[in-house]
Amino acid sequence: MNRPLEGIRVLDLTQAYSGPFCTMNLADHGAEVIKIERPGSGDQTRGWGPMKNDYSGYYAYINRNKKGITLNLASEEGKKIFRELVKTADVVCENYKVGVLEKLGFSYDVLKEINPRIIYGSISGFGLEGPLASRPCYDIVAQAMSGMMSVTGFADGPPCKIGPSIADNYSGAYLCMGILMALYEREKTGVGRRVDVAMVDTLFSVMENFVVEYTIAGKTPHRAGNQDPSIAPFDSFRAKDGEFVMGCGTDKMFAGLCSAMGRNDLIENPLYKTNLARCENYLTSLKPIIEEWTQTKTIKELEEIITKLAIPFGVILTIPEAAEHPQLQSRNMLWNVYQKGMDTEIRIPGTPIKIHGEEDKVQKGAPLLGEDNELVYSSLLGMTKQEIDELYVKEII
């Protein structure tokens, strides 16, 4: 049961979320990811909650399946060691502020001189070019400057951040895809590539129809709560005992819903006959008609009626409800792993990429700071225990 990326070695200079999310996905599917951290402190997420025995659950989730070493890249000896590691690697990943790695002497041009096959993947807030390239960035900044916050929330409320840090994980996923493309090309050319992903670019690219509403129709998209601006009905609705969501993406779905409601008269009504007409009249009349019906029934009753019509339907679950739901459990979306530092078994989200024939389980917990120093420095660079001990004394590792 081999993993697809076995034999690929990644030097992981990333921290926080976006870069580690990319390298986590590579590690999940067999790549040997060597996470390189600053001696003494390590990745900033080692201090992010939830904490158990002073060990971060955040770090544990996003750095599973990786080896961990420490290395001071600001020192000349540390730089020399990194150059030797680059000679053995396939990929280098980083998400420093633009220019940091170059100042340390490790631009892409330098790295490809050391190893012409190296693939250099980087994530930044704004990319390598442009007036804002040098600025630092967190997810909330990318959500704000991509336009995403302006269309998230309710019309009578303020712009709103989407809950999880989607600029980070989406950028990490894009970088992962770019690296895989570069690895595929290298099989044909023998030469590596520079892969550059920006968080603001990423969110701007996933705005679905919002951008083309502006570029093609000349409109400025606005916040509309859970309503979809291009499909109706496609929203959250009140039931007798709570709220649920559904979406009617076709005229056939809408006709089925009308029949279930006992309102066949709505099917040919000019106000609702086409999707465009339904969108135009949704808030003023269609949603109130639907909710007048849904509020007479429980969520369970509505689920039975609506799913039988093949209309997409969902209960609005809490995180605990989602985590324990039979569907996610059947998909093995929570992995059990023994985590050093916490000294206990924990549950963390699994991979959504199910490759048939690949074992769908965690390989190891996240590394303690410098856990694999002796293993990596001895096996890859041939260092003796005495040489490694001297590096500790000089605070190189």
Strand partners, 244: 237, 315
Residue (of 119, 64, 33) closest to 376 by Cα position? 33
How many whole angstroms separate alpha carbon 2 and alpha carbon 213?
46
Which CATH architecture is the domain 9-206+328-393 placed in? 3-Layer(aba) Sandwich (3.40)
How many whole angstroms separate alpha carbon 289 and alpha carbon 284?
10
Per cent of the chain over pLDDT 90 is 98
164 residue type, one letter: P
Say if 9-206+328-393 and 234-317 have the same CATH topology. Answer: no
Q: What is the β-pairing status of strands 119-124 and 91-94?
A: parallel
Contact 69, 36 (CB under 8 A): yes
Q: What is the β-pairing status of strands 32-37 and 9-12?
A: parallel
Q: Is the pLDDT of residue 1 over 90?
A: no
How many whole angstroms separate alpha carbon 209 and alpha carbon 340?
45
State the average pLDDT over residues 238-259.
Answer: 97
pLDDT number for residue 101: 93
For the chain, the domains span 9-206+328-393, 234-317
pLDDT number for residue 190: 97
Cα–Cα distance list, 91 to 20, 33, 380 (Å): 14, 9, 15
Residue 341, phi-psi category: left (phi > 0), alpha (psi -120 to 50), beta (remainder) = left
Active site residue 196: no
Q: Locate 97 and state its tokens.
A: 């502020």
Kindly report the backbone phi and psi dihedral angles of residue 97, in degrees, each rounded to the nearest multiple of 5, phi listed first.
-60, 145
State the average pLDDT over residues 379-393.
Answer: 97
200 burial via Cβ count (<10 Å: 0-12, 13-18, 19+): buried
Strand partners, 243: 238
pLDDT number for residue 238: 97
pLDDT tens track for 258-290? 999 999 999 999 999 999 999 999 999 999 999
Kindly report the backbone phi and psi dihedral angles of residue 197, in degrees, each rounded to the nearest multiple of 5, phi listed first.
-120, 130
pLDDT number for residue 275: 96
State the average pLDDT over residues 352-361.
Answer: 96
pLDDT tens track for 285-343? 999 999 999 999 999 999 999 999 999 999 999 999 999 999 999 999 999 999 999 99
pLDDT number for residue 28: 98
Cα four-point dihedral sign 302, 271, 259, 292: positive
Q: Locate 68 and state its tokens.
A: 């961990």
Mean pLDDT (the chain) is 96
pTM for the whole thing?
0.94
State the average pLDDT over residues 87-92.
Answer: 98
Q: Locate 11 and state its tokens.
A: 């030097």
Which CATH architecture is the domain 234-317 placed in? 2-Layer Sandwich (3.30)
State the average pLDDT over residues 212-216.
Answer: 94
- Reported as a pLDDT band with limits 50, 70 and 90, residue 379 is very high
20 residue type, one letter: P
Per cent of the chain over pLDDT 70 is 100
pLDDT number for residue 229: 84
Token pair 């980087």 in the structure block, residue = 122
How many other CB atoms sit within 10 Å of the CB of residue 319? 8
Contact 91, 11 (CB under 8 A): yes
Token pair 């002073």 in the structure block, residue = 54
Which residue among 28, 43, 168, 235 is the active-site one?
Answer: 168
pLDDT number for residue 73: 96
